[in-house]
Amino acid sequence: MAVWALGINHHTAPLDLRGRFAFALDQLPETLQRFRSSLARQPEATLLSTCNRTEIYCAAHEIELDSTVQWLASTGGVSPQELLDHAYVLKGGEAARHAFRVASGLDSMVLGEAQILGQLKNAVRAADEAGALGSTLHQMFQRSFAVAKQVRSHTEIGAHSISMTAAAVRLAGQLFEDLKDIKVLFVGAGEMIELAATHFAAKAPKGMAIANRTLERGEKLASRFGAEVLRLSDLPERLHEFDAIVSCTASSLPLIGLGAVERALKKRRHRPIFMVDLAVPRDIEIEVKGLSDVYLYTVDDLAAVVQTGKENRQAAVAQAEAIIDAGVQSFMHWVGQRDPRGGVVELIRDLNAQADDWRQAELARARKLLARGDDVDAVLEALARGLTQKMLHGALAELHTGDAATRQATAQTVERLFLRGQGRRA
């Protein structure tokens, strides 16, 4: 099977372009089915989509890269060339290596962060539920999970890493004299918001509120932190009450617009508002960043903050890469053994079939000789001699053909196959 990957991430594409290719977790099964039906051979496929990356992993007997690029570009409403200008295309071992590095947190904005492993597991589960996973990608991702666990257990790659949400709290602390005096609004109720709420709650702010499309989910999260619950429709009228706003939803359109923030600032008499938009695509209109009393940070803006301490972990990176190298080699060996085009599986099958034909032919001949009354020992001797001749015929014939160099190479192969451990006779 051939394996390939196509993707964009925070290293290669700006936030607004990444936003065009963002898929919510519940969209993945249907999206994968559309993708596979658009290709001629319906390959195995898995789609990973986070705030920092969108990647398609595929496996099939033949690579269909052009079709993969065409489909993803069309989905994001850009030309194939524009997508390729910001994308990476990986094949075979390099595709597997990338998956292993992603799972281990080596390709993350936050070096060694653990959240990506859970996101990758969710993506694989969604592919499995959609019937798109297949044995090759299943094997690759299961091995990537095992490698990620080994990296975390045997290296310090995640030591002292600063998460995106922790970075947001650090930045808020630089703006406000005391976080105990502020009110914080969280828009959304997913994993990132839960992490953000946990970090802010540790600073004991004056008040916290959760605004979510689904009230039930918002109430469940709010109950953990003693926070108020808002409807999304209440945001325009209540933004002015909050000093810090952290938003991360799966909305395809911004939820907080320029006009709403301008009105909030007016009601606050231009007291500053700290805003963090962790969503891809954006939850907060980019024009808001131009307001003088607003401090708006996106996932890309947090990059410099989360890199703090990265240099101290570079020694661990080398250890992690060695673990990943071993994992990739093991996976590619597994692929090679299964690949009919590599000849191994097919050759083993053909050899077994040929040996069985020889066995059946000699047994049939022996039964005839026994039926006519021939001596049993003589029949057994003939059976053994017939099998031996059939097994050696091809090798002996090759030893008598070709030039000297060919015969020498054949002799070495025959010796390795038939005289292993016996040594040459004197």
- Maximum pairwise Cα distance, the chain: 115
Residue 20's nearest CA partner among 101, 100, 74 is: 74
Contact yes or no for 228/207 (Cβ under 8 A): yes
**Dihedrals phi, psi of 272, to nearest 5 degrees:** -65, 150
DSSP 368-385: HHHHTT--HHHHHHHHHH
CB 107 within 8 Å of CB 98: yes
CA distance 9 to 1: 26
CA-CA-CA-CA torsion sign (28, 23, 275, 304): positive
Alpha helix stretches (DSSP H) within 240-343: 258-267, 303-306, 314-338
Q: What b/e sequence results for 387-397 when a residue is b if at least 16 CB atoms lie within 10 Å of its CB, and e otherwise?
A: beebeeeeeee
Half-sphere exposure of 357 (CA within 13 A, CB side): 8
Q: Which of 5, 51, 106, 317 is catalytic?
A: 51
Other C-beta atoms lying within 10 Å of the C-beta of residue 287: 14
The residues near 4 (Cβ < 8 Å, ≥ 6 apart) are 57, 58, 59, 63, 65, 68, 89, 90, 91, 92, 95
51 is catalytic: yes
- What residues contact 167, with CB distance under 8 A and at least 6 apart? 302, 305, 306
Residue 315, CB-side half-sphere exposure with 13 Å CA sphere: 4
Instruction: Calculate the alpha carbon distances from 272 to 32, 238, 289, 341 in Å.
Output: 44, 15, 12, 64
CA distances from 192 to 51, 300, 320 (A): 10, 15, 26
Rg of the chain on CA atoms, in Å: 31
- Residues noted as catalytic: 51
